[in-house]
Chain A
Amino acid sequence: MDFSLNDDQRDWQMKARKFAKEEIRPISLVRDAIADPRETFDWEVFKKGSKLGFRTMAVPREWGGQGTDFVTQALVMTELAKADSAISKSFSQCWKWSHLIAASCTEEQKERFLKPFLADDTFVLGKGISEHSAGSDNRLPPPDDPRAGLKLRAERRGDEWILNGEKAYIANGNIGKLFFIDARTDPNAPLKQGTTMFLVPRDTPGFRSGKVYNKSGWRFYQNGEMIFENARVPHANVVGEVNGAVKKSGGAGGDTTGGDLFGDLELAANALGICDDACEVALRHARSGKQGGRILFEQQLVQLKLNRMHMLTEALRSFVMRIAWEHDRRIHSPNAGLAMNFSTDVVQEVTELYMEVRGGAGCAMDAHADKLVRDSFIWSHLAGDTVQRLKVAGRLPG
């Protein structure tokens, strides 16, 4: 058993730490405070990060990416999230789907889509699954309601597919250049047998962005509506087989650690960064802040809070690094999902404790503490809701 990092992993970690400290941290609270959700994204920091490899690091070396392993990806996500969780997610959202391109696209599709992705610092990826009436139903399709789940319709016309419908809450929906869109290609079949995944570039005729969601947390991170009105997508953009989308992204067969499973590691590693941030600032505050003329750290209740924050954070770190290690060895287990669920409990408790340690100063609350609890609350519907827990329970062996 060996917990040490190799030189390459350590280099990426240090590079991410430096970028996070120098470029992300200074803009984090500023971007969070912008009222208009369309204005919170900052292309400058994104381009700088892209030039350092933080946009493309999950793309295999043979395709011109950095080919980092999952341990490195977890380390980088954590470091970036320590400075701003939403900015870290904006980068890793691109890795999530570059895993998918590498795992599921044909050589011809990689040529058409992976190359421009690698060449353009503003090329952002996204994936459209959720719809207003289909959220949990996509994650956990009910066995007794075969029609449940996404409704966006795709119909074949010659060499093209005609897409009609709407996607909701889609990450990078308003800024992405390329999307993986799940559409119903057999409306009479259950979700798993009737859905096809399409590569949809931004300039697809008949596709446009709708509203940008105004979220209470993760304000930098863009989520948008996507509207398809007779949108025309070439048949050559079908990913995998027709009526086979869920199978591809669900990871049955082939590389079981890509796609969805990366998403589990991603949320857990990102949560860890928030926890690291909260622990560090809380400890610094407790050692310098005073009450009654004495430093806060002298108080037992403050020490107990700091103890719990660090205990939970280190437990999460052990879990995150273990699943990254398992992914690198292509070990299939429910652990990534469990770690994602666990990260919800940890990040929310740690940030609430952080807010307690900061305390209210009269009628104001520390803006950083307020941001961290709002960012952490995002986990409630992404990573730790009962549907995500039930889904992981379904992956338990035996």
Chain B
Amino acid sequence: MFNLHLSSEQLEIRDTVRDFVAREVKPVALAPERLEAFDKPLLAKLLDQASQLGLRTLALSEAAGGAGADSLTACIVTEELAVGDPDIAAVLAHTAMLGGLFERLMTPLQRERFLPQFLGDDGFHLAFAEREPGSETALGVNYHRASAIEPGIGTVAERRGAEWFIHGKKHCVANAPLARLFAVQVATSNGISTALVPRDTGGLSVRPQEGRWFHGTCGEVVFENCRVPAENILGVEGQSPFAGDAAKGRGAPLMQALNLGIGRAAYEAALDYSRLRVQGGRPIVQHQAIGAKLAGIAIKLEVARAAIWRAAWASDHPDAVADRSLPDLPLQTIAEVYTAEAMLEAVKDAAECFGAMGVMRDMPLQKYVHDARVCLHSGDGVSDARLRLAEALAGFRRPAAAPARATA
């Protein structure tokens, strides 16, 4: 059975978000000060409004007060939001996804402590603090080699009585400046653990991130003898539920959906403009050269969406590999590489339809090009993603990672 029907709930939420973007987001997001690539203020008021629509708590179960959305629904929402503003889309995607994960991994006691606050406050965002300055996550030279990749967790949690003392530094933490609750990857005596650390914990500080090569908001998080109760470990101590997950390439392709939304925004602008702009005696959409360009963009958008939705559905149906409905491949990685490359080509073609207006900073097209480039060149890049895929194709299995290193 092959079924691409969306549920009535999915269609309804898509319409709701699309309407929100058209009415509330676009008029603000396309203001000139938002179009500067490196100095754009986050639209805090719109984030609150989106929260009131339920988009912040999207993946929380209905029993817990959320919308119970699956990965596919989250991808649909993220694409729609990113058509309006990739920063809003990124913040909400991170919080919503983490909300769903936290709920599943938390103990009943943890749910009782954290979920009511999370649900009750539109400004309550979540962050996952993993990456550290100097840590290397790229496969690169270790491609298809037995050498284990150093996990690079230098942030240490020491158990003293009924508390953990956390010490260390994370950077490039998405949502850090907004987050009220962090899930922090820490080295404990028996491996890597995930600790839940509320923002107001003494010894925790957030600094602005250097550089501006990301969507949403990012920060450095410093832990200086930060004390949290022993029961703040998420999942099993020494066996972080997040360890190695990202490398598997089988998660929800939310950042790819965001990337797709950027492409769609450029496409919609180019299609509208091509119908209005008259050169060569007719609206330029009526010229073969522009028509073929728009068709090429549309093809890229549809193919990318197919890859993203398939990867999302796969992450919602882990049994689909076992029953041979889906190939045993990192479908998220496949969607990531295709989308990142195709969207940059698509937005450049869309910008070209605007002539000189395509490079003007007070126009959105140059921003779409920049935004797509940020997606293409973020993380370890598409070349590294291809290497990870190649290892999967060859059935290569890397020896277990070395135990976490301790800090000096």
Contacts and interface: CB of A to CB of B under 8 A. Distances in A.
Contacts of B351: 377, 380
B377 A381 contact: no
Interface residues of A, number: 50
A301 B387 contact: yes
Contacts of A252: none
Interface in B35-62: 36-37, 39
Interface in A58-73: none
Interface string B137-161: 0101111000000000000000000
A299 B278 CA distance: 49
Most buried by A among B141, B348, B373: B141
B211 interface: yes
B381 interface: yes
Given A214-B361, A292-B141, A380-B352, A362 B133 contact: yes
Contact of B352 (A373, A374, A385): A385
B358 A380 contact: yes
Interface in A122-139: 130, 133-137
A135 to B, nearest CB: 5
B211 A169 contact: no
Contacts of B278: 133
Contacts of A130: 356
B136 A386 contact: no
A124 B351 CA distance: 30
Interface string A24-64: 00000000000100000000000000000000000000000
Q: How extensive is the interface on chain B, given as a class?
A: 35 or more
B142 A359 contact: no
A145 interface: yes
Contacts of B382: 356
B360 interface: yes
Contact of A363 (B143, B213, B280, B281): B213
Interface string B351-388: 11011101111100010011001100111111100010
A76 B211 CA distance: 34
A216 B213 contact: no
19 contacts: A35-B36, A136-B280, A137-B279, A142-B281, A215-B361, A216-B37, A216-B366, A291-B141, A292-B140, A301-B383, A301-B387, A305-B383, A359-B377, A362-B131, A363-B171, A363-B172, A363-B211, A377-B359, A377-B369
Interface of B: 36-37, 39, 131, 133, 136, 138, 140-143, 171-172, 209-214, 218, 278-282, 284, 287, 289-290, 293, 344, 348, 351-352, 354-356, 358-362, 366, 369-370, 373-374, 377-383, 387
